Amino acid sequence: MSDRPAPKRAKHALITRLWHWINLACVVVLFMSGLNISNAHRRLYWGDWGFAPEQAWLSVPRFPGWATIPGHYDLAEARDWHNLSAWIFAVTLLVMWLSMLANRHFQRDLVTHRIEWKPSAIWDDIRRHLKFDFDHGEGKYNFLQRVAYGLVLGVFLPMMIFTGMAISPGLEPAWGWFVELVGGRQSARSLHFLFAWAIAGFLIIHVLLVIAHKPLDLMKAMITGGREDE
């Protein structure tokens, strides 16, 4: 029997690293082109229809050119960027989910357990985060990280796809069931806007936490894979 140690497993599989960077590029393009599209009509409504200011639940500001793709108002070009990125975004997310289930990354690293949902355990996790102690927990991620990643992968990103399909011209007949489920086409548009900003908020917090905690090590691991004991 060999005494050679078992090979060290990479912190992040190749498929995870590829998806991470492709998804980041897609989210940035989708968000910035979406802001350009938003400039075409800056009011949001609930239900099947809406147009007048008094029917809106929210009026969003006009976004400047430096925050949009393209850098000037062009609805047709913005939609081209948005649609191209959306298909890459959707296909790679599907591949990522199939991979996570096949290699058990989801079950091993992202699934939470009942005991972790006890108020005392959650508060302890929050306290550790406030002290910038992110390496606690038995698995690759601590409880709050798994909840956050689970919400993003299982709710925010899929809902961006579903609501986007529901409001895309030409796809409405096939997605009529979803439009009815969320209460109307304008409701789907409002949800699309809300989930977009939820993802943007997560991305900002994620980047700030990476900067606050071993940024070079974390970047290296997401580029080269790293090793579990590093």
Domain ranges within the chain, ordered by starting residue: 14-224
Instruction: Enumerate the β-bridge partners of residue 43.
Output: 59
What's the rounded mean pLDDT across residues 208-228?
A: 82
φ and ψ of 163, to 5 deg: -70, -35
What's the rounded mean pLDDT across residues 117-133?
A: 88
**Which structure tokens are listed for 75?**
């609805």
Give the per-residue pLDDT at 228. Answer: 58
Confidence band (pLDDT; 50, 70, 90) for 3?
Answer: very low
Give the per-residue pLDDT at 174. Answer: 85
What's the rounded mean pLDDT across residues 14-40?
A: 95
What's the rounded mean pLDDT across residues 53-67?
A: 95
**Which structure tokens are listed for 211?**
């900067």
What's the rounded mean pLDDT across residues 182-206?
A: 95
SS3 of 39, please?
coil
Give the per-residue pLDDT at 37. Answer: 96
What's the rounded mean pLDDT across residues 2-23?
A: 72
Instruction: Enumerate the β-bridge partners of residue 59.
Output: 43
Mean pLDDT, all residues of the chain: 89
Amino acid at 101: L
Amino acid at 142: N
SS3 of 43, please?
strand
Instruction: Enumerate the β-bridge partners of residue 58.
Output: 44
Q: Does domain 14-224 have CATH number 1.20.950.20?
A: yes
Decide if 188 contacts 167 (C-beta within 8 A): yes
What's the rounded mean pLDDT across residues 54-60?
A: 95
**Which structure tokens are listed for 72?**
């000037």
CA 31 to chain centre: 11
pLDDT tens for 154-182 read 999 999 999 999 998 877 778 889 999 99
Give the per-residue pLDDT at 21. Answer: 95
Peptide bond into 70 cis (omega under 30): yes
What's the rounded mean pLDDT across residues 121-142?
A: 82
Report CA Rg, the chain: 20
CA atoms of 200 and 24, how far apart (whole Å): 11
Give the per-residue pLDDT at 219. Answer: 86
